[in-house]
Amino acid sequence: MRIEKTIGAVDIGSFRIAAMIAGLTADGELVVLGSGHRAAEGIRRGYVTDMDAATHAIRDAIERAERAADTQVDSVWIGCGNAGLMSEIREIDLEVGGRRIDQDDIEYLMSDAREQIIPPAGAPRVVLHAQPAHYILDGAHGVANPRGLHAERLAVAVHVMEAETGPLRNLMEAVQNAHLNVEGVVGAGIATGHACLSEEERELGVALVDFGAEVTHVSVYVGGVLVGMAVLPYGSGDITDAIASAFGVRRTQAERLKCVYGSAIASPTDHRERIPLGHVGERGGADSAETILRADLVAVINSQLARWTQDVAATLKSLGFITGRGGNGRQIVLTGGGGELAGLADYMQQSLAKPVRTGAAPKMSGLPEAHATPGFASLSGLILYAAADPLDIRTSAGGWQTASRFARMTMPARLMRAIREYF
Would you place residue 53 in the very low, low, confident or very high pLDDT band (cuts 50, 70, 90)?
very high
- Is 52 a member of any domain? no
Say if residue 406's pLDDT is above 80: no
Domain edge (last residue) among 342, 358, 374: 358
- Is 138 a member of any domain? yes
Of 59-68, 255-264, 318-327, 330-339, the least confident: 318-327
CB 210 within 8 A of CB 188: yes
What's the rounded mean pLDDT across residues 125-130? Answer: 88
pLDDT for 381: 92
- Is 81 a member of any domain? no
Say if residue 407's pLDDT is above 50: no
- Is 2 a member of any domain? no
Would you place residue 410 in the very low, low, confident or very high pLDDT band (cuts 50, 70, 90)?
very low
What's the rounded mean pLDDT across residues 203-218? Answer: 92
Most confident of 236-245, 356-365, 369-378: 236-245
Domain edge (last residue) among 358, 379, 405: 358
Q: Are residues 132 and 241 in the same domain?
A: no
The proportion of the chain whose per-residue pLDDT surpasses 70, expressed as a percent, equals 89
More confident residue, 384 or 284: 384
Q: Which CATH number covers residue 340?
A: 3.30.420.40
Q: Are residues 263 and 307 in the same domain?
A: yes
pLDDT for 197: 92
Would you place residue 279 in the very low, low, confident or very high pLDDT band (cuts 50, 70, 90)?
low
Say if residue 136's pLDDT is above 60: yes
More confident residue, 210 or 422: 210
Q: Which residues pair with 293 in a beta bridge?
A: 274
- Is 147 a member of any domain? yes
Pairing of strands 332-335, 206-211: parallel
The proportion of the chain whose per-residue pLDDT surpasses 90, expressed as a percent, equals 48
Say if residue 77's pLDDT is above 90: yes
pLDDT for 174: 94
pLDDT for 219: 92
Q: Which residues pair with 39 in a beta bridge?
A: 16
pLDDT for 298: 95
From edge to edge, which strands make up the β-sheet containing 86-95? 86-95, 153-164, 125-137, 140-143
- Is 260 a member of any domain? yes
Q: Are residues 264 and 348 in the same domain?
A: yes
pTM over the 0.75 mark? yes
pLDDT for 288: 52
What's the rounded mean pLDDT across residues 309-317? Answer: 93
Q: Are residues 154 and 249 in the same domain?
A: no
Q: Are residues 238 and 160 in the same domain?
A: no
pLDDT for 388: 86
Q: Are residues 259 and 305 in the same domain?
A: yes
Q: Are residues 332 and 403 in the same domain?
A: no
Mean predicted lDDT score pLDDT of the chain: 85
What's the rounded mean pLDDT across residues 21-31? Answer: 88
Q: Are residues 257 and 307 in the same domain?
A: yes
What's the rounded mean pLDDT across residues 186-202? Answer: 89
- Is 68 a member of any domain? no
Q: Are residues 401 and 316 in the same domain?
A: no
Domain edge (last residue) among 338, 358, 378: 358
Residue among 394, 226, 220, 405 at smallest CA distance from 321: 220
Q: Which CATH number covers residue 108?
A: 3.30.1490.110
- Is 255 a member of any domain? yes
CB 123 within 8 A of CB 131: no
Would you place residue 140 in the very low, low, confident or very high pLDDT band (cuts 50, 70, 90)?
confident
Q: Are residues 236 and 344 in the same domain?
A: yes
What's the rounded mean pLDDT across residues 165-178? Answer: 93
**Number of folded domains in the chain?**
2
The secondary structure of 333-355, three-state, reads: EEECHHHHCCCHHHHHHHHHCCC
Q: Are residues 316 and 248 in the same domain?
A: yes
Say if residue 6's pLDDT is above 90: yes
Which amino acid, residue 77?
Answer: W
Q: Which domain holds residue 273?
A: 232-358
